[in-house]
């Protein structure tokens, strides 16, 4: 029997519409497995590059009102090391999506091939990290380049491709359109919002990198607006990301147009139990509203 909560995102079969967001607990097979056991319908890894990268000096994460501010600086062991580590484990009980970052279409294509050697069922292209030189949003705010990157990745591999977009632009729908034209199978919206915090005693920026990305409840209304606008612009599915903490947040994202939601910061603040809380809450909401299938919620706010 097909569950009322099952969703398909770009041919990926999820038992429910929750996913682990990139960047949290996504660096090892063991932690990814814990997230699947906690109920996530799919998991996204920390962003991987062709080569290992150390990341920025500490502090790299700071708690602020309404969420977390981070400037990790894309620390990762490199795609080949990750592939060796993950292959030594039993397959996960949910699709693994590998997040990748690079600076040119050619590099993205090469990296995409290597990333699929990890057993990934799909890839999420990170063209949206808000504080990295030559990668992330520096390439992902140029819609022409986004289209070329997606096209090159689609030429290089046969796998569902999600493209994670930055909200730090005047018009995110231009980027979504470009990703769709390049052949993207889904859009993830949004990455973190460029932000800063200052220690007033020392009068110095707190983060080692000074500028970072804001996540958590404070960015949710921005993410909802982005998902809403993108839903009116493209045909491909949208995965909502940005401050999802409760089942009500998940429903709101789906009503805005998201087919699934990613959870990140809420894991740090509430723990892994957040997945089951969201899943059971959405299910109870559907029962109360006599909604037979979770897909019926997607985009509902556009019909009024």
Q: Which residues are catalytic?
A: 129
Query: Which one of 23, 41, 122, 242 is in contact with ligand RRO (CB under 6 A)?
Result: 23
Q: Which of 76, 94, 87, 95 is nearest to 29 (CA)?
A: 87
Distance from C-alpha of 266 to C-alpha of 66, rounded to nearest angstrom: 11
Distance from C-alpha of 143 to C-alpha of 149, rounded to nearest angstrom: 10
Query: Which one of 33, 45, 126, 255 is in contact with ligand RRO (CB under 6 A)?
Result: 126
Label residues 52-79 b or e (16+ Cβ within 10 Å = b): ebeebeebbeeeeeebbbbbbbbebbeb
> Least distance from C-beta 64 to ligand RRO, angstroms?
13
> Least distance from C-beta 131 to ligand RRO, angstroms?
6
Of residues 178 through 197, those in contact with ligand RRO by CB under 6 A are 191-192
- Residue 208, CB half-sphere, CA atoms under 13 Å: how many? 12
Distance from C-alpha of 14 to C-alpha of 95, rounded to nearest angstrom: 7
Q: Which of 24, 23, 11, 5 is nearest to 272 (CA)?
A: 24
Query: Which one of 26, 29, 67, 73 is in contact with ligand RRO (CB under 6 A)?
Result: 73
Query: Which one of 74, 260, 261, 298 is in contact with ligand RRO (CB under 6 A)?
Result: 74
Tell me if residue 196 falls in helix, strand or coil.
strand
> Least distance from C-beta 300 to ligand RRO, angstroms?
29
- How many positions of this chain bind ligand RRO (CB under 6 A)? 15
Distance from C-alpha of 82 to C-alpha of 246, rounded to nearest angstrom: 31
Tell me if residue 36 falls in helix, strand or coil.
helix
Cβ distance to ligand RRO smaller for residue 69 or 278 = 69
Binding flag, residue 26, ligand RRO (CB under 6 A): no
> Least distance from C-beta 114 to ligand RRO, angstroms?
18
Stretch of 102-110, 126-134, 175-183, 244-252 lying at the interface with ligand RRO (CB under 6 A) = 126-134
Distance from C-alpha of 162 to C-alpha of 187, rounded to nearest angstrom: 5
Cβ distance to ligand RRO smaller for residue 116 or 214 = 214
φ/ψ (deg, to 5) at 79: -65, -35
Of residues 219 through 278, those in contact with ligand RRO by CB under 6 A are none
Stretch of 31-39, 129-137, 169-177, 242-250 lying at the interface with ligand RRO (CB under 6 A) = 129-137
> Closest residue to ligand RRO, Cβ-based?
213
Q: For residue 134, count other CB atoms closer than 10 A to its CB.
A: 10
Query: Which one of 15, 33, 47, 188 is in contact with ligand RRO (CB under 6 A)?
Result: 47
- Decide if 27 contacts 37 (C-beta within 8 A): no
> Least distance from C-beta 72 to ligand RRO, angstroms?
3
Residues forming the site for ligand RRO (CB under 6 A): 23, 47, 70-74, 126, 128-130, 136, 191-192, 213
């Amino acid at each position: 029997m097909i569950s009322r909560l099952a969703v398909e995102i770009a041919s990926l079969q999820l038992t429910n519409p929750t996913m682990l967001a990139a960047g949290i607990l996504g660096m090892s097979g063991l932690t990814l497995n814990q997230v699947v056991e906690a109920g996530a319908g799919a998991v996204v890894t920390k962003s991987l590059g062709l080569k290992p990268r150390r990341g920025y000096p500490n502090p790299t994460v700071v708690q602020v009102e309404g969420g977390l501010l981070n400037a990790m600086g894309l620390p990762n062991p490199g795609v080949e090391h990750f592939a060796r580590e993950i292959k030594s484990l039993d397959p996960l009980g949910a699709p693994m999506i590998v997040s990748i970052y690079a600076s040119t279409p050619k590099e993205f294509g090469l990296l995409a091939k290597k990333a699929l050697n990890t057993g990934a069922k799909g890839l999420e292209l990170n063209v949206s990290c808000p504080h990295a030189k030559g990668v992330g949003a520096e390439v992902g705010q140029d819609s022409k380049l986004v289209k070329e990157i997606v096209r090159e990745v689609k030429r290089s591999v046969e796998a569902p491709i999600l493209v994670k977009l930055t909200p730090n632009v005047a018009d995110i729908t231009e980027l979504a359109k470009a990703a769709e034209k390049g052949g993207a199978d889904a859009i993830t919206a949004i990455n973190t919002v460029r932000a800063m915090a200052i220690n007033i005693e020392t009068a110095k920026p707190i983060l080692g990198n000074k500028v970072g990305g804001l996540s958590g409840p404070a960015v949710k209304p921005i993410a909802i607006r982005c998902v809403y606008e993108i839903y009116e612009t493209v045909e491909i599915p949208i995965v909502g990301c940005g401050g999802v903490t409760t089942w009500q947040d998940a429903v709101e994202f789906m009503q805005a147009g998201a087919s699934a939601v990613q959870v990140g910061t809420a894991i740090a603040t509430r723990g892994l139990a957040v997945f089951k809380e969201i899943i059971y809450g959405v299910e109870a909401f559907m029962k109360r509203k006599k909604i037979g299938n979770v897909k019926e919620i997607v985009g509902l706010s556009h019909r009024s």
